[in-house]
Amino acid sequence: MKKHNFDAVIFDLDGVITDTASTHSTAWKQMFDDFLRTHAEKTDSLFHEFTHEQDYLAYVDGKPRYQGVASFLESRGIALPFGEPEDAPTEVTVCGLGNRKNELFNKSIQAGNVHVYQSTVDLMHQLRDAGIRIGVASSSKNAKVVLETVGLLDMIETRVDGVVSAQLGLKGKPQADIFTTACDNLRLYYDRAVIVEDAISGVQAGQNGGFGLVLGVAREDNAHALRINGADIVVEDIAEIDIEKIDRWFVKGLENEKWSIHYSDYRPELEGTRETLLSVGNGFFGTRGALEETFANEHNYPGTYIAGLYNRLDSEVGGRTISNEDFVNAPNWLPITFKVGDGDWFLPHLPGSNESTGDPKGFLRTESDKLLDQKSHLLSEDSWENLSGLGRILKISRRLDFRTGILRREMIVEDAEGHQTKVVSQRLASMENHHLAALRYEITPLNYDGEISIRSMLDGDIINDGVARYRDLNAKHLEAVKEESDGSFSSLLVKTNQSDILIAEAARLFVTAEGNALEPAFEKSQVPARITTAFTVDVERGVPLTVDKLVAIYTSNQEQVDDPFVAAQNALSQINSFDEIRQASENAWTKIWEKIDIQIEGDRVAQKLIRLHLYHTILTASPHNKDLDAGIPARGLSGESYRGHIFWDDLYILPFLNLHFPETVRSALMYRYKRLGLAQEYAQENGFQGAIFPWQSGSDGREETQTLHLNPLSGEWGADHSPLQRHVSLAVIYNIWDYLRVNEDQDFLENFGAEVFLEVCRFWAGKASLNETTERYDISGVMGPDEFHEKYVETHEGGLKNNSYTNILVAWSLRRAFDLLAKMGASAKAVLLEKINLDDEELLRWQDISQRLTIPISDEGILEQFEGYFDLKELDWAYYRQQYGNIHRMDRILKAEGKSPDDYKVAKQADALMAFYVLDEKEIKSLLGALGYAPPEDFLRKNFDYYLRRTSHGSTLSRLVHAYLAHRLGEKQLAWQLYTEALESDYVDIQGGTTKEGIHAGVMTGTVFFAMRAFAGLDLNGDVPTVSPNLPSHWRKMKFNLGFKGKRHHFVVGADKVRINTKG
């Protein structure tokens, strides 16, 4: 018997196997119409009938019976008691109405009103003959009776229906419980099973369960709805699918799904998040995934961000002048659009909507025009379009392929005259030459012949407008320098108006039809900071017109480019096609994926999201970064949140990059070294020797965090104590230690790394003061990672005393300082000690501090987050969860109630527990033992249990840390729950609106490293890497590569078997 790529097919019943959907719908209608008439008479209101299209499909179809009743009643604003499942069909309760519907349905079945879809039955016979197992999962409590009636019960190996669900307490669709239970009964892997559904809630359940194929059957003209809600393949009838096609899906289609994200609809309220996730980039620059035809507006934001490109401006806010350094939104290279004949330029909007996704004034009007409104006299009359001609999107599909870094979009659009046009675009940021980008724009007339005009632009007349809460600040960072155009070439030069950085973009257009090059007459139009190229050609129905837009981007602050304007023009002069850039970029991506890819067998969802995170990690910090003087922005190169600043998040990022691109990591560490001078000045300003790296770092390494914060509700200014998170300096030197441990870079150690490490240690040694009473050293005036606690309630001065995480890492750092010195050559060490004037007396004090530093710990072995934490009030967590639902930002909730989080035992994210994430429990115990403390055997367990229930997870990083610690403690279910929440955090925008402002780089890379560190059990503490697998129960296998101490290692990790190949 032929071996197949899938093992089972789990069918829904109603609407898939049997045509009982209409019988159900009729029974629902009769029951609800009877109830609604009576209800209307009692309430003296109008009777509105229950309809199949508006009510059955929207609120009832596919749901358990009582859930369907409740859902519909809620839609009509009718409140009834839930009742009991035993309620009589005459009872006016949710259960009573549900039972009345069931009574009507059963009468219809007994009358023989049930029919099968023969094509489904035919497929079932084929499956059985091929040895593929068959199950039924249905919300109906009548499934057994129906299957017996149509003679199919004996074909079904497992049946999970409404009766079974009630017995087992399974959740209804869109939860996946009934489908996963069916697979469990068959003892099969979910990713090797097919789910067949006709309801939206059913395909959502299939998607939520991570099954290998979710097949949607569109019997209600709902193909699009099924597709956007989770169906991988949609058919109108089962006759359109067979075993061979399903096999092909598991070989090719499923693999493509694991390598991409895609969207088959356009939802304005989600565009911001999608644009972030669909970004293209290469480490030097990143460009958001906005539609090419749009400009910044309420829903779209086509930003481009270049590593290290900052500008500082003053703003008047609340009666004060404040200075902010922003991550500059660079000139937009994307814009391109078309028009048919004498029609209007295409700007997309939704079918049946007057809401444009672009500017209703036209292709040349931008956000800064609206704000400044000072250049309208420079634009010709025909540059301004009206709303009536905006195009409608009839169909849209977008897919980002992680393997190639190509974003492909396909649309069918219609203008006011009824011209329908297929528009296909592909874009990429070259991973081979990080200065290049390419866009292919293909137009195909579907129902007309005639003229098509194309208009392309480079637009530097833009502002920073991607984060709503920054909009009171001065956001105009760019000013025009010059524009040039020569035929198909156009060039733009702008500069930042404070940092004086030149940014050059050049574009070159190639036009073809049916493979033949065209040479249209190009027309140019330009105003300061914006240049447009347009042309018109004749087109025929069904014949594509292709425009390749090749782009070069250079700046004056990276790589010692003498003239970025000339460099951009020269870069394009040697490039002759989109495919030339594409092929070279794909080759570069292939080499990257050969190093970084993590292959998971058994979980298509985790596989997709881990690759999404790998993709954005490389987009943010690629091999190209080795030549750049730029750190790693916490929000990547996909948005303006946190103003593109560098925080401590690279603590979660660099350990992974260490294993693949050590030169990129070295560059990120050199970013800190080159700013060591300002870090030393920062320490001196605070009365210390050594170095303090800022909480927020940007262009030059000064502290970018505001010292005052305006409360928008009260209008009052208050102190911002977040710069007291001095642990960022500890993250810097931990990253240095980790880099040296993995890569043994003696040159970096002796010439750069050791100096930074020692200067940070010098600061902490100076920060530590001897307590004459305890005869231990204390550290005061700091904040830990938990940003909810800034100070003691009774004081105005910011900072806390003896933060456990900080003090543990300080003790660790002071000890490691001696290890680093021992690793240095005698000559290099002598030169460094003389350079920084570090003598034996100072080193002896460091040693003393490392042996007598205070670590606040209770008699039970609980680390006190900071001195005084145990005296704070307990929070009524149950009350706040019930009152607010989402309590992730408990600080904001408490402040809105006139309270302070400083009063309560509540944490935004792991604080004391961070020590166990950075260092392993054994090392912490050893460290505390050397300090004179005796931690209990179950040290981690006690601390985890204590702090987990007092943490609100207001940071995406929080779930990651707690998941790791839960995994170490053997709490696999909790660990998996927290890990999947972290893994999905940007993909589903778990924080409700932050992803549109930029990805969270720390949690993205952190979840990737977690898979290696926790699930594979990767240990890098010895001379060779080792693994001790503890895979999730549904993961069969995990494959990955890494570099360690000059050798490459390939791991194949199973639940009970490991294979390791080593080269080098």
Domains of the chain: 8-18+115-258 (3.40.50.1000), 21-110 (1.10.150), 268-576 (2.70.98.40), 599-645+958-1064 (2.60.420.10), 661-952 (1.50.10.10)
Angle at 449 between CA 448 and CA 450, to 5 degrees: 125
Looking at residue 707, its pLDDT comes to 76
Please state, in angstroms and rounded to a whole number, the distance separating the CA atoms of residues 417 and 60: 40
Characterize the bridge pairing of strands 193-197 and 213-217. parallel
Q: Which residues touch 138 (CB under 8 Å, ≥6 apart)?
A: 12, 13, 14, 159, 160, 161, 162, 178
Identify whether the C-beta of residue 737 lies closer than 8 Å to the C-beta of residue 760. no
Q: What is the pLDDT of residue 829?
A: 98
Amino acid type, 941:
R
Q: Which residues contact 381 (CB under 8 A, 6 or more apart)?
A: none
> Distance between terminal CA atoms of the chain?
44
Residue 64 pLDDT: 85
Low-confidence residues in the chain, pLDDT < 70:
21, 349-390, 710-716
Is 787 in the active site? yes
Burial class (CB in 10 A: 0-12, 13-18, 19+), 560: exposed
Helix H or strand E encompassing 320: strand 320-327
Question: 920 is written with which tokens?
Answer: 């392993």
Q: How does 420-444 read in b/e, with b if 16+ C-beta sit within 10 Å? A: bbbbbbbbbbbbbbbbbbbbbbbbb
555 vs 576: CA distance, rounded Å? 23
Q: How far is CA 666 from CA 282, 671, 743, 1048, in A?
A: 18, 9, 10, 18
Helix (H) or strand (E) holding 475: none
| Strand pairing class (260-263; 233-235) | unpaired
Place of tokens 């703003």: 315
- Catalytic pick from 755, 787, 921, 981? 787
Strands 478-486, 489-496: pairing is antiparallel
| Residue 207, helix vs strand vs coil | helix
Full 3-state SS string of 644-691: HCECCCHHHHHHHHCCCCHHHHHHHHHHHHCCHHHHHHHHHHCCCCCC
Q: How far apart are CA 64 and CA 152, in angstroms?
A: 22
Within 13 A of 517's CA, how many CA atoms are on the CB side? 6
Among 1017, 913, 1007, 934, CA closest to 970: 1017
Condensed to tens digits (0 to 9), the pLDDT of residues 301-323 reads 999 999 999 999 999 887 888 89
pLDDT of res. 61: 83
Amino acid 246 reads I
Query: How many of the other CB atoms lie within 10 Å of CB of 586?
Result: 19
Q: Are 410 and 399 in contact (CB under 8 A)?
A: no
- In angstroms and rounded to an integer, the radius of gyration of the C-alpha atoms of the chain is 31
Per-residue pLDDT tens over the stretch 640-676: 999 999 999 999 999 999 999 999 999 999 999 999 9
Closest CA to 633 of 613, 612, 619, 615: 619
Residue with tokens 């920054």: 470
* Cα–Cα distance for residue pair 774/770, rounded to 1 Å: 8
The answer to whether 527 touches 375, Cβ cutoff 8 Å, is yes
Instruction: Quote the CA–CA distance of 584 and 193 in Å, as a whole number.
Output: 38
Whether the link from the prior residue into 564 is cis, omega within 30° of 0, is no
Instruction: Tell me the C-alpha distance between 832 and 963, whole Å.
Output: 41
Identity of the amino acid at 455: R
Predicted pLDDT at 715: 66
> What's the rounded Cα separation, in Å, for the pair 928 and 856?
11
Alpha helices in 281-408 (DSSP H): 367-372
Side by side, the strands of the sheet bearing 1058-1063 are: 599-601, 1037-1044, 1047-1054, 1058-1063
Amino acid, res. 980: T
Bridge partners (DSSP) of residue 280 are: 287
Residues 6+ apart with CB under 8 A from 752: 669, 670, 673
